[in-house]
Structure 1
Amino acid sequence: MMRIRYEVPGGPEVLFAEDVPVPAPGPGELLVAVEAVGVTLPVVRKVREHGEAIPLGGEVAGAVAALGEGVRGFAVGDRVTGLCFGHGYAEYALLAAPFASPLPEGAGSVDAVALVRSGLVARGAVTAGQIEPGGSVLVTAAASGVGSLALQLARAAGARRVVAAVSSRDKADFVRGLGADEVVLYDEPAAWGEPYDVVLDGVGGELLGPAVRALATGGRLVAYSSGGGTVEAYELLVRGASVIGFQIRAVAQGRPEVYEGWRRELWEAHGSGALRTSVHGEIPLAEAARAHALIEGRRNLGKVVLTV
Structure 2
Amino acid sequence: MRGIGQDVLGGPEVLHQIELPVPRPGPGEILVRVRATGLNATDWRHRALPDLFLSAPPFVLGWDVSGEVAAIGTGVTIVKPGDEVFGMLPYPHGHGAAAQYVTGPTRAFVRKPSNLDHVQAAAIPLAGLTAWQALVDTANIQAGQRVLIHAAAGGVGHFAVQIAKARGAYVIGTASAANHEFLHGLGVDEAIDYRTTDFAETVRDIDVVLDSLTPENAIRSLQTLRPGGLVITLRGFGAERLREQASRVDARAEILLVEADHAGMLALAESAESGALRPTIAGIYPLAEAAKAHALGESGRTVGKLVLTVN
TM-score by length of 1: 0.87
Q: How does 1:132-151 map to 2 (within 5 A)?
A: 132-151=142-161
**CA root-mean-square deviation:** 2.2
Instruction: Give the counterpart of 1:80 among 70, 85, 91.
Output: 85
Deviation at 1:17, TM superposition (A): 0.8
Whole-angstrom distance in 1 between the partners of 2:79 and 2:242 = 48
Match of 1:37 in 2: 37
Residues paired across the two proteins, number: 297
1:219–1:239 CA contact under 8 A, matched in 2: no
Partner of 1:174: 182
Cα deviation, 1:25-47, whole Å, max 9, x if unaligned, reads 22322111110101121122111
Structure 2: segments with no counterpart, 5+ residues: none
- SS for the counterpart of 1:221 is strand
Contact 2:68-2:82 at 8 Å conserved across structures: yes
- TM-score, normalised on structure 2? 0.87
Tell me the amino acid that sits aligned with residue 279 of structure 2: T
From 62, 69, 72, the equivalent of 1:67 is 72
- 2:66 corresponds to which letter in structure 1? A
Question: Quick one: which amino acid aligns to residue 171 of structure 1?
Answer: N
- Structure 1 position 133, deviation (Å): 2.5
The one-letter amino acid paired with 2:64 is E
One of 83, 97, 109 as aligned partner of 2:106: 97
Structure 1: segments with no counterpart, 5+ residues: 253-258
| Match in the other structure for 1:272 | 274
Shift of 1:102: 1.7
Conserved? CA contact 1:197–1:220, under 8 Å: yes
Tell me the residue number matched to 1:58: 63
Using the TM superposition, give the Cα deviation of residue 115 of structure 1 relative to its aligned residue in structure 2, in angstroms: 2.9
- For the residue of structure 2 that corresponds to 1:290, the secondary structure is helix
CA positional deviation for 1:66: 1.6
* Alignment-derived partner of residue 255 in structure 1: none
Question: Deviation string for 1:161-211 (max 9, x for gaps)?
Answer: 311123x33222222221112222446344542241110122233322212
1:1-308 residue pairs with structure 2 within 5 A?
1-11=1-11, 13-50=13-50, 52-53=56-57, 54-84=59-89, 85-127=94-136, 128-159=138-169, 161-166=170-175, 168-186=176-194, 188-223=198-233, 225-226=234-235, 228-230=237-239, 231-249=241-259, 252=261, 259-260=262-263, 262-308=264-310
- Conserved? CA contact 2:134–2:210, under 8 Å: yes
Offset of residue 296 of structure 1: 1.2
Local SS of the residue matching 1:32: strand
Q: Taking CA–CA contacts closer than 8 Å with sequence separation of 6 or more, which of the two structures ends up with the larger relative contact order?
A: 2
Question: Secondary structure of the equivalent of 2:204?
Answer: coil
d(CA) in 2 for partners of 1:136, 1:105: 33
Q: Percent identity?
A: 37
- How far apart, CA to CA, are the structure 2 residues paired with 1:263 and 1:287? 28
Note closer, same or farther for the CA distance 1:292–1:190 as it changes in structure 2 (3 Å cut).
Answer: same
Render the CA deviation track for 1:14-70: whole Å, top value 9, x for unaligned.
Answer: 211112222222232211111010112112211111262143031111111122233
8 Å Cα contact 1:125/1:200 also seen in 2: yes
